[in-house]
Amino acid sequence: MGNTNTNWASMTDKAIIETIGSFIKHQRLQQNKTQMQLAKEAGLNRWTLSQIENGEAITLLSLIQILRTLDLLYLFDGFSEKEQISPIEYAKLLKNKRQRARNTNDEEPENTESEW
């Protein structure tokens, strides 16, 4: 298994592009596809695919097309925004949480006094 602790912040832009290109090439080979096959399926020319695999920059749109064809779009999951609630708001919600149930189907008994 390869290095899973890549320190992206310490890498140069060029090194990041090269790492992405290497990843794409590895995934392509794992799926037993030639550059020409992948490029055709992605709607790109082979030269564009060759560029990224050789560490050259390509457009974001081309990268998306390649990752879609390789069924790797899940890699973008880290870009999704998740709504988070503050601890104070959460505490307020817990404070207002129902603690007891009340039967609303029964009518309140009338105040009946004995006629004796």
Q: Are 49 and 42 in contact (CB under 8 A)?
A: yes
What superfamily in CATH does domain 10-79 come from?
lambda repressor-like DNA-binding domains (1.10.260.40)
- Whole-number pLDDT of residue 106: 61
- Whole-number pLDDT of residue 33: 96
- Whole-number pLDDT of residue 28: 96
- Whole-number pLDDT of residue 1: 45
CA distances from 4 to 7, 13, 32, 91, 103 (A): 9, 19, 23, 37, 56
For 13-26, the pLDDT digits (tens) are: 999 999 999 999 99
Rounded to the nearest 5 degrees, what angle is found at the Cα of 43, between the Cα atoms of 41 and 49?
85
State both tokens at 44.
């790109």
Q: Are 55 and 89 in contact (CB under 8 A)?
A: no
Domain extents for the chain? 10-79
Q: What is the pTM of this model?
A: 0.66
- Whole-number pLDDT of residue 99: 76
Q: Are 72 and 27 in contact (CB under 8 A)?
A: yes
Low-confidence ranges of the chain (pLDDT < 70): 1-4, 106-116
